[in-house]
């Protein structure tokens, strides 16, 4: 029976990982290279993730330095950062790009908290959709007489337990990220 759930459990774990990476991209007062993960740069006609075209370092808690391996793309990197929703103006000195992260205002913290909640809710919706797909599959198996009525009830109950477990995990990740955002 357990092998029936493995596929859905894997999908749910993947959803939690995606939500977690979305949270990492939300900047909380400190400079974190993960905020640049979703930024892509036009690198010789190909959209390339920023972290694949150079080194990203954090010399202090409030700044990031991007040092492309090919200095000729500094302008494209600068454009990509400006086009993103980071809200930070890059400083280009001809060799590297510096990003200075200002202290978050109370208003911006609340905005980011709403964004985090939205990511968390989207993750929980995705998990519930996975549960629905699983239950639909089990009902189809019941219809074909591959499983009994009792098996169907057990499957539904087990899928609900899995769903609750992963939704709680997302709730705890959300609460942790909100706490991190609201800490001054």
88 & 74 share domain: yes
Q: Are 75 and 42 in contact (CB under 8 A)?
A: no
Indicate which CATH number applies to the domain containing 57.
3.30.1360.40
Structural domain of 55: 31-100
pLDDT digits (tens, 9 = 90+) for 11-58: 999 999 988 888 877 766 667 777 777 788 888 888 888 888 888 888
- pLDDT of 169 reads 93
13 & 54 share domain: no
Exposure class string for 113-124: b at 16+ Cβ within 10 A, else e: bebbeebbeebb
**Residue 160: band (very low, low, confident or very high) from pLDDT cuts 50, 70, 90:** very high
Last residue of a domain, one of 81, 100, 119: 100
Domain count within the chain: 2
93 & 126 share domain: no
Least confident of 4-13, 39-48, 82-91, 131-140: 82-91
47 & 17 share domain: no
Last residue of a domain, one of 73, 100, 127: 100
* Average pLDDT for 101-119: 83
């Amino acid at each position: 029976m357990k092998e029936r759930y493995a596929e859905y459990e894997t999908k749910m774990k993947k959803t939690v990982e995606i939500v977690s990476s979305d949270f990492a991209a939300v900047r909380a007062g400190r400079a974190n290279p993960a905020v640049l993960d979703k930024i892509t740069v036009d690198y010789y006609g190909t959209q390339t993730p920023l972290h694949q075209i150079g080194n990203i370092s954090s010399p202090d808690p409030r700044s990031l330095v991007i040092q492309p391996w090919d200095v000729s793309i500094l302008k494209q990197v600068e454009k990509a950062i400006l086009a993103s929703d980071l809200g930070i103006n890059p400083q280009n000195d001809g060799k590297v790009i510096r990003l200075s992260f200002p202290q978050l205002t109370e208003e911006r913290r609340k905005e980011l908290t709403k964004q985090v909640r939205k990511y968390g809710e989207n993750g929980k919706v995705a998990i519930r959709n996975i549960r629905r797909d699983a239950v639909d599959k089990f009902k189809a198996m019941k219809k074909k007489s591959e499983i009994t009525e009792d098996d169907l009830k057990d499957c539904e109950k087990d899928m609900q337990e899995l769903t609750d477990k992963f939704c709680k995990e997302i709730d705890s990740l959300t609460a942790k990220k909100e706490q991190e955002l609201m800490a001054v």
